[in-house]
């Protein structure tokens, strides 16, 4: 399964990129994040993040399908 | 009609202000969040805003529409900048009109609070000492968090 | 600098807005009280404001200056119209700038509440049915009070 | 003693004038108002009004002097 991950703010700094396509056996948002965390050394645990799939917030145990856009949302600081 | 938008360019406050006029509106409240020259005791000289645009737009729209219903507004608009800003620039503008001032104040405040809590936009502050960092809501940069 | 004034002419919101800019201000909140087309279920088509100018100016100034101290504002200005107004005209404008939005919202709200309570200005509403009456704060006209 | 009284809003409507100069033996704001009330048939009792002398709010028992400007302030409705 291949998913497209977008990174923003400090996650993009840490990953050194704003986007990547990954082939993974992982099938939930949670497991996709844990793989990315290992790969890039992210500081955030999932308790500090939210996750969006295809442009909508979802729960961490949501299933992720081939071709999905997955985004980990660190605490926001707009305004 | 779109009630929330992201803008790469300076916000035209006067145009947005006119968009919330309504003959039954006795009260208009507008909030401007501006880039200020300091934060947490550090001297700031510029900043960038980054948004996950697709979700920011849908979440922002949801917030403003919810406020219209919840507070019985006549009109409401919110705009958030993305990109590079300097001191004094308007980063976010929220304007609402209502029959009475209670609803207008409460709604304007509620919208900006919701935007700050739920809309995926992040601020990167550039400090006078050359340092910079992405901010998260407790006000502290996270780029140097322990791994 | 004068922080409160009465105006016989349309309020120049853009000029007053610029007067409250400050490089340390992260939050600007502005309130407009506008003439709306109805009040208490009656259709309104115009109104007059009358002030006891000498006392209105000193009381208004006192209110705005008190807000600057109380809420730690960077800038604050309030303007109230006198004379004849029509639907949509801005009757009163209050703008404040502060480092943070809490202070800006609270101060703006406090100023308009104080003006409405303590500054000697009265509103005479002209209704669509030809009637008119001076309003007092409970919202009811007093010209027809029993003697 | 002569004082200048200004009337606003519904008091001016009832008095039929916005200003008058009165010669009076009255020496407090309260007694000046009671005379004016009898003269013009004002509905307001002093509990519903405030009073200003020479441009400043004062208490109803304040002394009024020759030449003073006295203003009865009905409930305000600005904003």
Q: Closest to C143 (Cβ–Cβ): which among D8, D10, D55?
A: D10
C74-126: pLDDT as tens digits: 999 999 999 999 999 999 999 999 999 999 999 999 999 999 999 999 999 99
pLDDT in tens, B79-122: 999 999 999 999 999 999 999 999 999 999 999 999 999 999 99
Task: Give the model's pLDDT for residue C39.
Answer: 85
A76 to chain B, closest Cα gap in Å: 5
Closest-CA residue of chain B to C109: B105
What is each CA distance from D72 to C120, C134, D50, in whole angstroms?
10, 15, 6
> Which residue in the set B58, B137, B146 is minimally distant from A55, CB to CB?
B58
Pair of tokens at residue D59 = 């208490």
CB within 8 Å: B134 and A9: yes
CB contact under 8 A, B120 and A6: no
Instruction: At D54, list the tokens.
Output: 């020479």
Give the pTM: 0.92
* pLDDT at C110 (0 to 100): 98
Q: Which of C80, C146, C147 sits opposite D78 (nearest CB)?
A: C80
Q: How far is CA B146 from the centre of its chain?
A: 30
Q: What is the CB neighbour count within 10 angstroms for residue B89?
A: 17
Q: Is A in contact with B (3 or more beta carbon pairs below 8 Å)? A: yes
Segment B8-58, tens digit of pLDDT: 999 999 999 999 999 999 999 999 999 988 888 889 888 999 999 999 999
Q: How many CB atoms lie within 10 A of CB B125?
A: 20
Contact C122 D41 (CB under 8 A): no
Smallest Cα distance from C64 to chain D, Å: 14
CA dihedral C8, B27, C51, D32 (to 10 degrees): 170
Q: Give the distance from residue D55's alpha carbon to the nearest chain C alpha carbon, in angstroms.
A: 5
The residue among B39, B51, B54 with the most chain A CBs within 10 A of its CB, best to mutate, is B54
Which residue(s) pair with A69 in the sheet?
A4
d(CA A53, CA A5): 9
Please name the member of A43, A52, A79 whose beta carbon is closest to the beta carbon of B116: A79
Q: How far apart are CA C14 and CA D26, in angstroms?
A: 50
Burial of C2 (0-12, 13-18, 19+ CB in 10 A): exposed
Using the beta-carbon criterion (under 8 Å), do C134 and D77 form an inter-chain contact?
A: yes
Instruction: Provide the CB-side half-sphere exposure for D42 (13 A, CA).
Output: 25
The larger pLDDT score, comparing residue B143 to residue C63, is at C63
pLDDT above 60 (res B133): yes
Please tell me if residue C78 touches chain D, with a CB cutoff of 8 Å: no
């Amino acid at each position: 399964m291949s998913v497209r991950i977008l990174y923003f703010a400090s996650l993009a700094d840490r990953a050194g990129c704003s986007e990547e396509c990954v082939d993974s056996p992982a099938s939930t948002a949670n497991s996709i994040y844990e793989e990315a965390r290992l790969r890039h050394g992210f500081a955030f645990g999932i308790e500090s993040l939210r996750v969006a799939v295809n442009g909508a917030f979802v729960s961490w145990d949501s299933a992720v399908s081939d071709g999905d856009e997955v985004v980990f949302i660190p605490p926001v600081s707009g305004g | 009609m779109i009630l929330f938008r992201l803008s790469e360019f300076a916000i035209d406050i006067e145009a947005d202000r006119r968009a919330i006029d309504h003959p039954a509106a006795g009260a208009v409240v507008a909030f401007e969040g501006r880039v200020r020259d300091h934060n947490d005791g550090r001297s700031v000289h510029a900043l960038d805003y980054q948004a996950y645009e697709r979700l920011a737009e849908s979440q922002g729209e949801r917030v403003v529409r919810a406020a219209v219903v919840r507070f019985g507004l006549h009109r409401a608009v919110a705009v958030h900048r993305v990109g590079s800003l300097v001191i004094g620039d308007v980063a976010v503008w929220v304007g609402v009109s209502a029959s009475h001032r209670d609803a207008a104040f409460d709604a304007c405040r509620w919208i900006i609070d919701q935007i700050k809590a739920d809309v995926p936009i992040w601020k990167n502050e550039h400090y006078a000492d050359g340092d910079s960092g992405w901010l998260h809501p407790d006000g502290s940069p996270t780029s140097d968090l322990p791994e």
